[in-house]
Amino acid sequence: MAAKSNVENQFSFSCSFSVQELVKEPVKTIPQHYVRSDHRRPAVPSPTGARPNQMLPIIDMNQLVAGKDSDLELQKLHSTCKDWGFFQLVNHGVDSSILEKVEQEVEGFFELPLEEKMKFKTREGGAEGYGTTERDGGKFDWSDRFYMTTNPVHKRMPHLFPELPSSLRNTLESYILEVQKLGEKLLCFMAKALKIDEKEMMEYSEDGLQSLRMTYYPPCRQPELVMGFTPHSDSTLITILHQLNGVDGLHIHKDGVWLPVRFLPGALAVNVGDTLEIFSNGVYRSIEHKVVPNEEKERMSVAFFINPKFEATVGPSPSLINPHNPPLFKRVSLDRYVEGYFSRKLNGKSYLQQLRIHDNGEDNSASA
């Protein structure tokens, strides 16, 4: 058999590193390392039996802050975090010009030649940087990502955020300031609804660990065979998601079924993460979600992850715990919690289950 030429080698290397590169050539057969085993495939509704995507519940930030029915809106926020763990936020205060700029800049980043993007590639054993992600069973998600810590600023990897093209970096800096403010406000409203002192919530989360992921999902002719993003819940307090170009694809796991969801143009999606489920002692629920690629269109998103501060202990809020409401989760330092999350392959809510205290009341946090 003839040896592969350099060009062929280069092409197969690029394709194994980037799905975006792979689809630049017409893909006749989806490579096996993207094809999920039968029980891990997304259930994609057939076009004839397709149900319209479910509209996520809407929370109006203006109503929460100053509306005449702000108590009602707070109640709605509370019940949505309990029942859905996912909502879309309107009148969120992030200027539409910033949202549009983020869209342009992130799109511009993914359009860069591969060798430019490879300067940011994920390093051996690390979680941060640019690349595709291997999942359980050696399969890869049908997406390219760029994940990085953004706060505390001294935890930013010197070869990632500071080295981004300056217009992307400046745009992300402006966006981050906006979503940080928004996240703080939302967490305070959630604390209020949970009857936790807002000061306690602020002390827990202010200037906390924050990170950002930009994801590019190329179109896929056979979306039923692949996974754009493997089912998972976020390890965060909350995540704020900007679906950049209005192409749907997010599915959430609610009441035992996967629901494809859609948002209003300009809305931001917010979801409860595992640490908030733990902090609220199980009152709020983090929600498993996944992404199924679109058959014809590319999809892009930016997720902003808000976590407790580094010195914090992940555990139920002390002000919620009493003899009638014992802790449902173990306590573990944020460092160990994050390390545990990233050292496992993503698998739905399995990490959260590990932190659950069993019926015998045992709190063996050393094993978490």
Ligand X SMILES: O=C(O)CCC(=O)C(=O)O
- Bond before 152 cis per omega within 30 degrees: yes
Residue 20 or 301 with smaller CB distance to ligand X? 301
DSSP string covering 259-298: EEEE--TT-EEEEE-HHHHHHTTTSS----EEE---SSS-
N-terminal to C-terminal alpha carbon distance within the chain: 51
For residues 149 and 154, give the distance between their C-alpha atoms in angstroms, rounded to a whole number: 10
Q: Is 303 in the site for ligand X (CB under 6 A)?
A: yes
- The CB-of-97 to ligand X minimum distance in angstroms stands at 22
| 89 part of the interface to ligand X, by CB under 6 A | no
* Least distance (Å) between residue 135 CB and ligand X: 13
64 or 241, CB closer to ligand X? 241
CB nearer ligand X, residue 73 or residue 141: 141
Burial of 274 (C-beta count, 10 Å sphere; 0-12/13-18/19+): buried
Number of residues that bind ligand X (CB under 6 A): 11
Our finding on whether 352 is near ligand X (CB under 6 A) is no
Measured from the CB atom, is 117 or 290 closer to ligand X? 290
| CA–CA distance, 255 with 42 (Å, rounded to integer) | 17
Binding of ligand X by 250 (CB under 6 A): yes
Minimum separation from the CB atom of position 68 to ligand X (A)? 33
DSSP 8-state code for residue 192: H
Site string (222-241) toward ligand X, x via CB under 6 A? -------x----x------x
Q: Are 150 and 207 in contact (CB under 8 A)?
A: no
By CB under 6 A, the residues from 197 to 226 that bind ligand X are: 213, 215
- Binding residues (CB under 6 A) for ligand X: these are 213, 215, 229, 234, 241, 243, 250, 289, 291, 301, 303
